[in-house]
Amino acid sequence: MRIVIAGGHGQIALRLERLLSSAGHRVAGVIRNPSHEADLREAGAEPVLLDLESASLEEVAGVLEGADAAVFAAGAGPGSGTARKDTVDRGGAVLFADAAERAGVRRYIAVSSMGADAGHPGDEVFDVYLRAKGAADDHVRGKSGLRWTVLRPGQLTDELGTGLVRLAASTGRGPVSRDDVAAVLAELAESDATAGLTLELVSGGVPVAVAVRDVAGN
């Protein structure tokens, strides 16, 4: 498969690129900083220079042309202000989904956040972030041309992954390692059995492959 990942230099994305390339897939990571190219190549991914905050729909669709799956894992980051929550976490996600549909990419996975809600109240930066992610999720879920899955991890940690998770429509709050998030994304990318589902993810006691298979059956 050819899989294109937006936010290709993110902590989860780099882990995912290693997993997918090791499994024999052709992986491209969309980045805007050329100094990150070497890190993507080390992870087994082809770096693609493109700024989702300024790119056109046609430019992004061109990158996605011929892809079997697309993963939106980009984010403005914890140090960014409210403006970039809108331009990246919402606007970038909307653009990437629109471009995937334009390019004929069927499988689409959006990395969201637990608690994402377009109607979330509050004026703090994190409140704006949750609204932006919620609006992006709503947009993706309205895309009839995509076999989409929205993944909402809990509190992200840098602990070593255990390969054991809880994946469900509602899990309750909890931590999850970035290693395990990447492992779940790799499993989701290889099958569209979870298409049409919005899933929460936290650490748990079920092996990743089993957790994905079980939720797909429901």
Residue 142, class by beta-carbon neighbours within 10 Å (0-12 exposed, 13-18 middle, 19+ buried)? exposed
Q: Which residues contact 153 (CB under 8 A, 6 or more apart)?
A: 111, 113, 114, 176, 181, 200, 201, 202
> Using DSSP, how many helices (H) and how many strands (E) does the chain show?
8, 11
Q: Quick check: is 108 catalytic?
A: no
CA distances from 203 to 88, 108, 174, 175 (A): 27, 23, 7, 6
Amino acid at 129: Y
Which residue out of 63, 129, 171, 184 is catalytically annotated? 129
Q: Which positions are annotated as active-site residues?
A: 129
